[in-house]
Amino acid sequence: MAWLGHPFDVGFLVLCGLGCGTLAAGGDSADAVQGFVSIPVLMAIYALTRRFTDAPRPSTRPPHTVAAAVIVLSLLAVTTAELAMGATGPVLGAWSALHWSIASTVQRAIPVLDVGSVNAALTFAILPVVVLIALGWRARDLGFGPSRRGTRRTFAMWCGIPVVAYAIVLALGHGSLGALAHRAFIDIFRNGFAEEILFRGILLRITAYAFGLSAGNVAQALAFGFWHLGANLRDVHGNVTLAVFDGIATQALFGYFQGLITLRTGNILVSGSVHALADAARALT
């Protein structure tokens, strides 16, 4: 994959830039600045990553590809609707009641985790993994393949940057180490590895085979951004246009580079760790 030479990659990054501009024009300056800053920073870090990692390998056909795609897309559709509209209607209501009931039962046996973390792990990771294993998927198909050359250095660089940033923030007297560590631990299950298994493990495996590496990575990134539509609608007070571009300029951009990391390292070890560390920043706000 000739990164930045492929039209899908160029087009996606241009779209992210346009998304940032739309957010700025619409008054969401915080996310616009975040996007404008993130694009060149993430590009620079990934450019360094490419120096000591091998090029992504072409994706082979996953077991029972069509059935797996239908299952995963159905799960994404239901969870996207639930996150955007809540447990409305008989289908979403029944689905929500079922997984929250199971999560509450499991959480009582694991009190160190909150019910939201257990629910995320159950819904976004455990459920699809169990179903796909029954279809013949193996660990490498789910994002747990063997690490490739440069994985340790990639881990050190991508995880080291937020760790250093947090150390500086804490040294300046903002937040507490205990709250940050607790949030990072919780986000390993709630956002970090649960969402990475679903998007960079399972979905990227399907889209990379169906559309090729570049287009497949862009597809899973856009799906990741749209999946956050409900949260983004709340952030921009119901403005659908701003919510869509917010998802492109922030979550989809993040998911795009997470996908590149996964394709380079062969698994979600680095991307899951980066995701958990990135979301832990909420403990400092």
| In the predicted structure, residue 178 carries a pLDDT above the cut 60 | yes
Looking at residue 118, what is its pLDDT?
A: 93
| In the predicted structure, residue 3 carries a pLDDT above the cut 70 | no
Find the mean pLDDT for residues 257-281: 94
Query: What is the token pair recorded at 140?
Result: 């490498």
Which value, in Å, is the radius of gyration of the alpha carbons in the chain?
18
- What is the percentage of the chain residues whose pLDDT exceeds 90? 75
List pLDDT tens digits, range 213-244: 999 999 999 999 999 999 899 888 889 999 99
List pLDDT tens digits, range 39-88: 999 999 999 999 999 999 888 999 999 999 999 999 999 999 998 888 88
Give the integer Cα–Cα distance in Å for 273 and 268: 8
How far apart, in Å, are the Cα atoms of 230 and each of 96, 225, 226? Answer: 15, 10, 9
Q: If you average pLDDT over every residue of the chain, what do you get? A: 92
| In the predicted structure, residue 284 carries a pLDDT above the cut 80 | no
List pLDDT tens digits, range 5-18: 689 999 999 999 99
Give the integer Cα–Cα distance in Å for 46 and 28: 27
Do the Cβ atoms of 107 and 114 come closer than 8 Å? Answer: yes
Give the integer Cα–Cα distance in Å for 49 and 87: 42
Per residue, what are the HEC states of 218-277?
HHHHHHHHHHCHHHHHHHCCCCHHHHHHHHHHHHHHHHHHHHHHHHHHCECHHHHHHHHH
Do the Cβ atoms of 229 and 167 come closer than 8 Å? Answer: no
Confidence of residue 1 (pLDDT cuts 50, 70, 90): very low
pTM of the predicted structure, to 2 decimals = 0.94
Q: For residues 114, 119, 125 and 129, what is the CA-based torsion angle, rounded to 10 degrees?
A: 120
Phi and psi at residue 57, to the nearest 5°: -95, 145
How far apart, in Å, are the Cα atoms of 166 and each of 20, 255, 278? Answer: 25, 21, 10
Confidence of residue 175 (pLDDT cuts 50, 70, 90): confident
Looking at residue 27, what is its pLDDT?
A: 82
Neighbour-count burial for 26-37, b at 16+ CB within 10 Å, e otherwise? bebeebbebbbe
| In the predicted structure, residue 247 carries a pLDDT above the cut 60 | yes
Residue with tokens 């490498």: 140
